[in-house]
Structure 1
Amino acid sequence: MRSPAILLALALALTGCGGIQSTSSFGDVPLVLGDTPGADEAGVFLATARGYDEAEGVTLNVARSGDADFRLVSTPPRGCVVVMAIVRPAKLVLCADEVTLQDERPKVLAVVRALSRGYTQAQLEPDEAVSAMTGQVPGLDRDQLSTELDKVAPTWTAGAPYFGELSAGPGRDPTVVPDARKEN
């Protein structure tokens, strides 16, 4: 039987050799969603319920309004750069504050990776996504949400080679999702 000190030393050695990945900790990250909950948010709630955000070193704090570096919107406000498509073709997008995108790109990549995983798993496991969302958003009708998710989930990747793909254009940074994918 190995002592805890030996196991700790082994873990530290493996971390230095790349055997165990460590993530940066960016802490709490506010994410503002639309006024009305809908199935297009299922990936967000699955990501938080399963800890995909924390695995990336961020803790997504979901809100319906307020100041935030990240927003799920159909029309980005001034100073918010679109970094990922949620509903194609760019009907619902994730945007990041332009200063955050410039100064804290690793944090932006962490948020994108967490949400990409949440949305991908929501497509693969819609019942679990519905459970995650109804567990975190009081008052949602489970059957209605499930029906809505069945309709909208295919739009998240329709015609795209991968979830989140974004075409170039003003107020957009189409390099974020590919950069986040490279780091996995």
Structure 2
Amino acid sequence: MVSANKEMVVYCFDTLVAHFNGEQVPPPAFDEGQHPLFVTWKKAVNGGEPRLRGCIGTLEARCIINGFKDYSLTSALRDRRFPPIQSKELPFLQCTVSILTNYENAANYLDWEVGKHGIIIEFTDPDYNTRRSATYLPDVAAQEGWTKIEAIDSLMRKAGYNGTITESVRKRIELTRYQSTLFTMHYGEYVSYVKTTRG
């Protein structure tokens, strides 16, 4: 099993920096593999808590080298919730890579643990008779301080459900739980790494 590591985060920073400088991305220092993965950018200003700046990935297994290359740019520049990251923000960024593992079908919408499991929900919107789905990575509910029900309700809204959330609607949810390995690095650590390893 592949775990998220420092070289993967370095490759995401390399990709973003190369994009801003119009350069080629240096080759990655980790091995090929097929895994579901996410890239998350956060920005810390004035020593405050880092705030989400972009997070996009895939729940399907894909080649991790291409995956990190694609999603480091997609999450930085094309997350519709945020304006694109600009080069002047680089010094304030931190990047987290997530490799997702251990997919399991849950018995019901409460069959998971906050802080341990990421969750994927799928359900039919009774108002429009359409299928909706959304996911939160394992650290989201814990960071937000949510109960399981608060996380589920927030995820239903993220999926685009605008109706009243009742117990009977929640009970229609098919929930898949999963786990992940993470590695986080701040831009300053990335710069030090590059100086040390590449001179």
TM-score (structure 2 length as normaliser): 0.23
Q: Comparing both structures, which one devotes a greater share of its residues to helix?
A: 1
Q: Comparing both structures, which one devotes a greater share of its residues to strand?
A: 2
TM-score (structure 1 length as normaliser): 0.24
